[in-house]
Structure 1
Amino acid sequence: MKRYIYIAYALMLVLAACQDDKLGDHENSGNATLTLNFNSSDNTLSRAVSSDEDEQIISNAYVFVFNQDGSKVFGQFYNNIHQSKTYTTKVENIPAGNGKTIAVIANINTTIHDLNDTKLDAVTSKADLLALTSHMQGKYIERGIQFLMSGMKEGAELIANQNNTIDIPLTRTDAKVRFNVQTKEGVTFTPREWKIVAIPREVSVLPNTTQGQFEFENYFNSEWNNFEISTTNAITFAFYIPENKVNPKETIPAEGEYRDQYALREKQEKTPNADGSVTNGAYRYADQRATYVKLKGNVFYSIGGGQEISADVTYTIHLGGVNGVNDYNSLRNHFYTYTVTINSVEDIIVEVESTTGEEPSPGSEGDVVVAERIKRFDAHNEIFTTTFEQKNIDESLTWNVYTPFSNGAENENPKDYDWIYFNINTKSRNFYTETFVTYQGDNGVYTDAEFKDKKYQHPLDRYMNDINNGTQKMLNIKQLVSILKECKRRYLASQGNHLFDSGDKIIFTTYLKEYYYDVNPENTSETVENGLWKKFVNTQERVLNILSNLQYSQDQMSTKSIALYSIRQSSIQTMYNKNLTENFTAWGSEAIQDETLLPFETERTKTNRTYNDLNNGRKNSINMWIGNETMNWNTYIDPTTWEMQASYEAAKYKCLRLNRDMNGNGRIDKEEVQWYLASINQLSDLWIGENSFDSQSRLYKFSTWEENKQWYASSTVLDKDRQGLGTNLFPYTYRDIPQILWSSEGSTVGPLNGPGSITSTKVYYRCVRNLGLAKKASENDHPEDFVTYDAANRTITLTKLDPKSIRGFSTVEELPNHNERDVRGYNKPWNAFEINAKTYGNGLTWEMVNARSQPGGTNPVCPKGWRVPNQRELALMYSRMPRNATSWPLSDHFSRSSFSFNTAGGERVGFSVENEGSVYYLINHKDEDRGGVRCVRDIN
């Protein structure tokens, strides 16, 4: 069974109908009237991207008329058009004659391109215009409604003293590309991220068949991006790039099957090394200016014999290929859909196992693990059992790791392996039990000197002696493998001094440490490295394989492991920008959402602790779980199963089990509380930064309205339900009323017993962790905010937010219609925005505000240059601005975003912040809820 990438191209070339008006021999002296119809192209495709009216908007246009000799006779800029698809204008007193050229350039003066009316004013001839290029002002792969368009009619005849009507079809200078990833039945692909390489920054304003290729300095690479949040669970992403016409560096020979020819598009030059490996160089056939996409993910499926395959893969796919394997073009106004079908990772395995350098799919790379047991865990501390049967152990048994710091097998001496420990389980009637052994503390592991104590013939003897005395320590992976191999040697020699039980098994309690590093394991120094967290968040799983062999491909870019166990741990997810060079603290989230709904707490308590911080979830959690008392781990958690005790099986406490008794004293010390229940503003920020996370980490993953699967309880408790008389016989008892987030609505927040009477509702919870703060940091210390709010200037600057969660373009107009789940960027914030000092539109409904807030519309609610904030911007304002009448003076303060799950004609139309910031909510009565807008504008 071989793995192929099948790429189906759905291609659109829109040719708007256009006829030459040949009216015979007429007098051509004098002036003519010209009526122009501008027509932006329709998006009528089969098997491709859906139609999008935003791509057809004509915001403004510059009109040229040239004589037959190319001299300019007319040039004028028409602003504030804002029409969809078609615009008609009339031009008077144009010199009549044959061979005229009429050209239209639309949608200039944007933040995307540097083309403006001043540059077009300077055009004096047709030749000037044909040679004109436009330069992108940033690294944009999104457009909003800012699509540069152009069209030209040549050979027109303008008849004097008549109205001459001419249609000018406008075509976008961009190509639109969508990737869909699908798999064969039984194969699972978990998407990670994607990026585009070699995007042209320059584009000819008008189509120019003679235009040469731009210099490579005019190309750029995108950042890594996450896949779209799809309501249909489709694995997809889309982007725009300027037209890129590029010739192949070398022609692929027309030999063999087409599939094999196509695979050569990604073939690289190979430079032999002294050790027999090769180093990849430039692409052999593709020019360096040919745009390509890299996408990453994990492929998983089962094979015969009870084995499973897990592979962390990277696929490289050059764009083009429509007109044969030597086509690397991405043409303007074309829409391409690439469907990538993953059947297996067999081609990667073939490459790894090849002794001749065979490379069936040069664009496929990955680390493939074939294992009997693949165990996946989240980023926090975890505990489980591993079972080793004597039949699976031999002298070749070894291990290897893949982490942000180390990759390699045992004989390559990787340093980053000290994140899994093993302690042998107890026996009952000479069979090991599954009951967990209590963690002995971070220092309860053998040092190398202890393990290799020369008083013993083999470390196994020391270990068995300690087991008999009840003084054994935990083993690291190196020590474990040594002991397992010695046990097998003695077993085969019929010696009794080994660890196998009557079932020929050894069972260990296995402790997985949190995916967090205080020091770099590859450094010999134990010095804490500032900003080290940036190296291990938002990255692929770290993996420990307990295996029998490890093989590399000739170019060292792919591997294959055969493992007994493959232990895989997800990284912490964060919305902070880890690529910033400055040192700062942050926080992040667990990666895998617990889908178990729980009550916030199971019973009323006599303890009346305070945990009301809107931002500091760790402080809240420490006060919630410990307070000023001495609390033991086994009060909350059963040490034999590491599950919550029955009376604490509640969302309020669940994050505690993600931590560990690091010093082994049995007490919950404050520095041991590293994972904690998110505060209410942290839950809101998880929505703000959702596009920076893997899809499995997002708060709401349903494609339909799920009324009982949307509430996330925070650690912020602003009110309590108190009962009793406060006497000895009838003391007060309390029930927390936590602030919750309605995840189906994005970032709507309020109290648990608020609207809807949900006091008994079961909830979700989300555990988070600080990044870059010392473990012994006080609970009052909290990470830096990714937002800077300047109250004096009323600005919000997303100084530390990851670019994936920032809109890919700025705008000076209202945002197009969108909802809170929009994937086009309309519900993302720009890098910074200003909040108007005044409010506008008081007394309007949300629908009235929306109707008056269309791009280029008349009678807008906001002043010129300002706009209605989208839902995420309003959430940022709500969480950072004071909740008082100065910030929120109206009855309601609306956002531009509609609600995606609202039924046709339903009442839940959009989002609002109530007077004095009392609540951020989803409007439930569209005609009754009236208010206005705190307008905003993008700033640099």
Structure 2
Amino acid sequence: MKQYIYVILALGFFFLYSCADETFVKNTKVEEGIPVEVSLAFTREDVPEVTTRAALPETEENKVYDVRVFIFDKDKKLEYTGIVEYEEGNTAKKGIISNCEVTSGQKYIYAIANTEGGAGNFSKTLGTDIKKVNDLKTLVSELNTETDQRLGGHLLMSGAYVEKNADVLAEEASCLVSKDMSGKSLAGEIKLTHVDSRVTFKVGVQEDSKITFVPRTWKVVNIPKYTNVFSAIFDYASISYFNTSEKSFDNSTIVDTKYKGGSFSFYMYENRKTAIKTPADYNDRERQDKNDTGLNGDFTYADPYATYVVLTGDYSDGDKTSAEVRYTIHLGYVNDIASDFSSLRNTIYTYKVTVVGVKNIILEVESSQPGEEFEEKQPGAEGSVVVAEQSISVDAHYEAKNVTFRKNDLTNLSVIVSTPYTIGEEKYLINATTGVVTSTMKNDYKWVKFVKRTAGSGLAKYPGNNKTVSVNGEGVPTNDDGKHYLTIDQVLQQLYNKKDDDGSSYWKGKNDDKSVTYTAFIDEYYYEEGDKNWKEFVNVEDRKMHILCNTKFSQDKQSNLTTANIMISQRSIKTIYNKSADGYSTAWGIETVDETKGMPMENSGTRASKNGRYNTFQMLDFSKEEDNGGWENYLDWTTESLNKLKGSWKSKRYAEYACLQRNRDLDGNGKIDADEIRWYLPSTTQYTGLWLGKDALYPEARLFQKDPEKITNDGTDGGTDEDFRTNNHFISSNGVRFWAEEGAATGNTLYNVKNSKFNYRCARNLGGYYTGVPKENESVDDYVQATLDNNGIVTKIVLTRVDPLALRSTLETSITAAPEHTGADLNRPYTKFEVTTAVKGKCPAGYRKPNQRELSLIAGYSTSSIGNTASCTYSDLTYKEDVYYTAFWKSEDKSNIVSLNGSSSSSVTRCVKDVD
């Protein structure tokens, strides 16, 4: 029977629910060889409540599309085989196989369900190669592709006949058929069970904890490619394994805008492994042998082919400690048995992983230092941990923050810089006693510029890119006039030379509380064209500057600990584009978070839909002022939030000006030059791209940041339409309202945007078209390559320019119905797909109904009406349950709109087919 196993790793408790073993009837004498015609019943096992909707929906996972029955005689030779099919799938728990023509006597009855359209191929032809029971019992299923998903449903099942009130000593599949049974149904039934297991990981933090955990990636190692169709004592002997690529979590858990974990699910054939040595406890399961230098080798206790999961995420304790962590978790450990590494068929596993801290990683690093006794309490936990007194995290655009150096903290005058272009880490150290400098610093540290704050509590003024300070004869640079900036090595030199100076005005405060404050001007995370390509520095790890710091490493070099007085960390530009693809050179990216939420938009005039930078220039309309106007007419540079407008522009707190704040007066002349407007308000096409490419984005960069099942429409939770719009809708630079809670739905073109508040996300062009006055007809390379017929309707979509993390990795001839947000691969497109003309009724062979993202691409890139076209994707939103997405033509906009329609049917279907 199906087992429901919940594994709670943080607590070590396990709950195992299973039914008793099936029993079988004893044989009795009957007259052999008389022709009879009987009917058989089959049942499938109950399915528990689905713990995550990223797996197949409950009904699809258990549908039976076809059942092939095999009846063998007393010598276990095939006597009858037949098949019953259900075109739409049998969702009932039972079914009947009628009119099986056999002779009376001892029989052995088996069945296989979903033999066609599933994920696996059989080692024999079922209709001709099965002659004996042994042929059936040695039947092997091989996955068509190396996949951990079952997107088309048709999950393979197998089973044997079980007599009513069976005896425990009865032989498997045994049945006595007498002559008086002709025309009747046998009393027993065939019990069908899944060949796959379903594995769900739910990663979270302790309730009411200040800890945040942003889920990043997961992958599975050692998934079997083959399995016995019928359960056997041992796994298939000639087994081979594969690993999945890294994937985004299917769902995120967000509480009060804070990430608290996420979940994902996958399917796999059974893999029954035991320990090669007996581990003492749970943590030993991930322990690895160490070589002479302390580096990791093979697993000490786990079988080398046992299945395990590697998941990553970003940890923060809400105070001084942050970390990029990686956890390795072997499957198994049922009933607290540390030596169990098995994954059984027909079983649903739920692993609950609770992130409680990084103390064990810190302990491993600290105990790896010379003179310490090495301890590795949690071998499955690794990462890079940072403990900083002042932790400054900024987005990819231009930023300015104040940092404070305290006189008593100058015992370690050092900085460590980590960027995509540093070899390892670049370091700069001044010996606090001798003043001797040790440096591996080259060029990639000048992205932070410092100006000493002379007075007040606000920010210093940015002097301009070309106003650097040269070191004078004494090696003491100065920028006290506010007209020049220092680099970090010069700041450390200045701190060293002033460390014993008590009489100057350099230090502020009294006694042991003396300090000095600098404004740190952080450049945008962009390297100018030349020998650096934008594909090298987008979607990468944060670049970091650790000031007054020290870094230590674990013995195996898999973990490290950095302690710092000041940490400046900057997120990279995020993009949906495929950095590995050729054939294009320009793109666009976005910031990670919206720092000034809930802003109206001043100007809602009609603008170009694709060119967001051009649209933004038109909205700002600098031509009304001489030389485009001055920065201080728009922004207050003295506040760290960069969130206030000044003077006559104080009332203009609009989205377009918020994106203006992401830029900088680069030459320091006080005037807004066209070359300085690099960050802008995106267009509708770009927002749609962010939905298409959602799973390639860092979780915090995604537009929709909530649990769709907890979203309520206006009025149902006591809120207003204004609240609903502010919480869920985005505004584009072409004045179109983007409904993030519905994926890619749009509406209310030229809505009254001036009197309503919306979310937004600022964008930047990559590789070109990011300086100078923009032109309407110039734009970066599109992320979609669409082929249209003579009527302007899409016939083919190519997405090689889209990051593979956002796409489905396998070709599918069928995809089951699924929700838009939590459907995972079920609502992702393949890299290339073809589109049929309008079809009424069933799709042609090899084609299927599109999912929502595929339909959005067909609708968005067609220039004429595609008709009322259905998808197989429905809404996650509780108040729109079972409502499906449909495209329709909006004549006033002359475009196809995708929206929720109320059913999965429509007048036509534009069927799709994945192609290589």
Give TM class, smaller chain: 0.7 to 0.9
Q: Distance in 2 between matches of 1:221 and 1:814?
A: 20
Matched, 1:251 2:263: no
Instruction: Using the TM superposition, give the Cα deviation of residue 795 of structure 1 relative to its aligned residue in structure 2, in angstroms.
Output: 1.4
| Deviation larger for 171-180 or 913-922 | 913-922
Q: Distance in 2 between matches of 1:776 and 1:167?
A: 73
Matched-pair contact (CA < 8 Å) for 2:578–2:804: yes
Any unmatched runs of 5+ in structure 1?
255-260, 520-526, 605-609, 717-737, 841-859
**Could you tell me which residue of structure 2 aligns to residue 570 of structure 1?**
571
Q: How does 1:883-898 map to 2 (within 5 A)?
A: 884=864, 887-888=865-866, 890=867, 892-898=868-874
- The 1:861–1:247 alpha-carbon spacing in structure 2 relative to 1, beyond 3 Å, is closer
Q: Distance in 2 between matches of 1:248 and 1:403?
A: 43
**Could you tell me which residue of structure 2 aligns to residue 123 of structure 1?**
130
Q: Distance in 2 between matches of 1:932 and 1:797?
A: 26
Instruction: Using the TM superposition, give the Cα deviation of residue 904 of structure 1 relative to its aligned residue in structure 2, in angstroms.
Output: 7.2
Q: Distance in 2 between matches of 1:213 and 1:515?
A: 52
Aligned residues: 836
Matched to 1:914, the amino acid is W
Matched, 1:705 2:705: no
Q: Deviations over 1:576-623 (max 9, x none)?
A: 23344666433222111336211111x89xxxxx87222221232234
- The 1:380–1:182 alpha-carbon spacing in structure 2 relative to 1, beyond 3 Å, is same
- The 1:62–1:772 alpha-carbon spacing in structure 2 relative to 1, beyond 3 Å, is farther
Matched to 1:390, the amino acid is K
Q: Distance in 2 between matches of 1:782 and 1:36?
A: 65
Question: What secondary structure, in the 3-state scheme, does the structure 2 residue paired with 1:90 have?
Answer: strand
Matched to 1:285, the amino acid is Y
Matched to 1:710, the amino acid is N
Equivalent residue in structure 2 for 1:262, among 282, 285, 288 = 282
**Could you tell me which residue of structure 2 aligns to residue 802 of structure 1?**
803
Equivalent residue in structure 2 for 1:236, among 250, 254, 262 = 262
**Could you tell me which residue of structure 2 aligns to residue 845 of structure 1?**
none
Instruction: Using the TM superposition, give the Cα deviation of residue 897 of structure 1 relative to its aligned residue in structure 2, in angstroms.
Output: 3.1
**Could you tell me which residue of structure 2 aligns to residue 722 of structure 1?**
none
Q: Distance in 2 between matches of 1:765 and 1:268?
A: 47
Q: Distance in 1 between matches of 2:701 and 2:591?
A: 7
Matched to 1:515, the amino acid is Y
**Could you tell me which residue of structure 1 aligns to residue 637 of structure 2?**
639
Matched, 1:271 2:291: yes
Matched, 1:476 2:501: no
**Could you tell me which residue of structure 2 aligns to residue 901 of structure 1?**
877
**Could you tell me which residue of structure 2 aligns to residue 748 of structure 1?**
745
Q: Distance in 1 between matches of 2:265 and 2:329?
A: 15
**Could you tell me which residue of structure 2 aligns to residue 39 of structure 1?**
43
Q: Deviations over 1:404-444 (max 9, x none)?
A: 444436268365752542433443xxxx3233233233343
- The 1:382–1:289 alpha-carbon spacing in structure 2 relative to 1, beyond 3 Å, is same
Q: Distance in 1 between matches of 2:820 and 2:330?
A: 33
**Could you tell me which residue of structure 2 aligns to residue 179 of structure 1?**
201
Matched-pair contact (CA < 8 Å) for 1:180–1:234: no
- The 1:551–1:796 alpha-carbon spacing in structure 2 relative to 1, beyond 3 Å, is same
Q: How does 1:816-827 map to 2 (within 5 A)?
A: 816=817, 818-827=818-827
Q: Distance in 2 between matches of 1:863 and 1:14?
A: 43
Q: Distance in 2 between matches of 1:938 and 1:11?
A: 42
**Could you tell me which residue of structure 2 aligns to residue 312 of structure 1?**
324
Instruction: Using the TM superposition, give the Cα deviation of residue 650 of structure 1 relative to its aligned residue in structure 2, in angstroms.
Output: 0.3
**Could you tell me which residue of structure 2 aligns to residue 280 of structure 1?**
296
Q: How does 1:324-335 map to 2 (within 5 A)?
A: 324-335=337-348
Q: Distance in 1 between matches of 2:127 and 2:495?
A: 77
Matched-pair contact (CA < 8 Å) for 2:399–2:522: yes
Matched, 1:321 2:333: yes
TM-score computed with the length of structure 2 as normaliser: 0.83
Any unmatched runs of 5+ in structure 2?
1-8, 162-171, 429-438, 714-723
Q: Distance in 2 between matches of 1:202 and 1:670?
A: 61
- The 1:548–1:796 alpha-carbon spacing in structure 2 relative to 1, beyond 3 Å, is closer
Matched, 1:937 2:915: no
Matched-pair contact (CA < 8 Å) for 1:96–1:157: no
Matched, 1:208 2:232: yes
Equivalent residue in structure 1 for 2:217, among 193, 208, 216 = 193
Question: What secondary structure, in the 3-state scheme, does the structure 2 residue paired with 1:366 have?
Answer: strand
Matched-pair contact (CA < 8 Å) for 2:610–2:685: yes
Equivalent residue in structure 2 for 1:648, among 649, 652, 655 = 652
| Deviation larger for 401-410 or 552-561 | 401-410
- The 1:627–1:124 alpha-carbon spacing in structure 2 relative to 1, beyond 3 Å, is farther
Q: How does 1:40-119 map to 2 (within 5 A)?
A: 40-44=44-48, 52-81=58-87, 82-84=89-91, 85-98=93-106, 100-110=107-117, 112-115=119-122, 118=125
Q: How does 1:594-633 map to 2 (within 5 A)?
A: 594=595, 596-601=597-602, 612-625=607-620, 630-631=627-628, 632-633=630-631
**Could you tell me which residue of structure 2 aligns to residue 418 of structure 1?**
445
Q: Distance in 1 between matches of 2:144 and 2:260?
A: 32
CA RMSD of aligned residues (A): 3.4
TM-score computed with the length of structure 1 as normaliser: 0.81
Matched to 2:494, the amino acid is I
Matched, 1:343 2:356: yes
Q: Distance in 1 between matches of 2:583 and 2:302?
A: 38
**Could you tell me which residue of structure 2 aligns to residue 877 of structure 1?**
858
Equivalent residue in structure 1 for 2:382, among 365, 376, 388 = 365
Matched-pair contact (CA < 8 Å) for 2:465–2:666: yes
Equivalent residue in structure 2 for 1:516, among 526, 545, 561 = 526
Matched to 1:312, the amino acid is E
Instruction: Using the TM superposition, give the Cα deviation of residue 249 of structure 1 relative to its aligned residue in structure 2, in angstroms.
Output: 5.6
Matched to 2:196, the amino acid is D
- The 1:267–1:404 alpha-carbon spacing in structure 2 relative to 1, beyond 3 Å, is farther
**Could you tell me which residue of structure 2 aligns to residue 142 of structure 1?**
149
Matched-pair contact (CA < 8 Å) for 2:110–2:173: no
Q: Distance in 2 between matches of 1:789 and 1:556?
A: 47
Q: Distance in 1 between matches of 2:906 and 2:250?
A: 36
- The 1:482–1:203 alpha-carbon spacing in structure 2 relative to 1, beyond 3 Å, is farther
Matched-pair contact (CA < 8 Å) for 2:875–2:884: yes
Q: Distance in 1 between matches of 2:861 and 2:121?
A: 34
- The 1:65–1:199 alpha-carbon spacing in structure 2 relative to 1, beyond 3 Å, is same
Equivalent residue in structure 2 for 1:714, among 707, 713, 732 = 732
Q: Distance in 2 between matches of 1:244 and 1:251?
A: 21
Matched-pair contact (CA < 8 Å) for 1:143–1:808: no
Q: Distance in 2 between matches of 1:909 and 1:239?
A: 23
Q: Deviations over 1:242-296 (max 9, x none)?
A: 2232434621244xxxxxx2111111121123xxxx2212212222211111111
Matched, 1:132 2:139: yes
Instruction: Using the TM superposition, give the Cα deviation of residue 869 of structure 1 relative to its aligned residue in structure 2, in angstroms.
Output: 3.1
Q: Distance in 1 between matches of 2:247 and 2:876?
A: 27
Question: What secondary structure, in the 3-state scheme, does the structure 2 residue paired with 1:658 have?
Answer: coil
Matched, 1:25 2:51: no
Matched-pair contact (CA < 8 Å) for 2:197–2:268: yes
Matched-pair contact (CA < 8 Å) for 1:193–1:227: no
Matched to 1:745, the amino acid is E
**Could you tell me which residue of structure 1 aligns to residue 831 of structure 2?**
831
Instruction: Using the TM superposition, give the Cα deviation of residue 69 of structure 1 relative to its aligned residue in structure 2, in angstroms.
Output: 3.8
Matched-pair contact (CA < 8 Å) for 1:422–1:511: yes
Q: Deviations over 1:780-831 (max 9, x none)?
A: 5433223221113711222222333334655444632x33323343333233
Q: Deviations over 1:14-38 (max 9, x none)?
A: 67x8664557422122233342323
Equivalent residue in structure 2 for 1:403, among 413, 419, 434 = 419
Question: What secondary structure, in the 3-state scheme, does the structure 2 residue paired with 1:630 have?
Answer: helix
Q: Distance in 2 between matches of 1:930 and 1:58?
A: 22
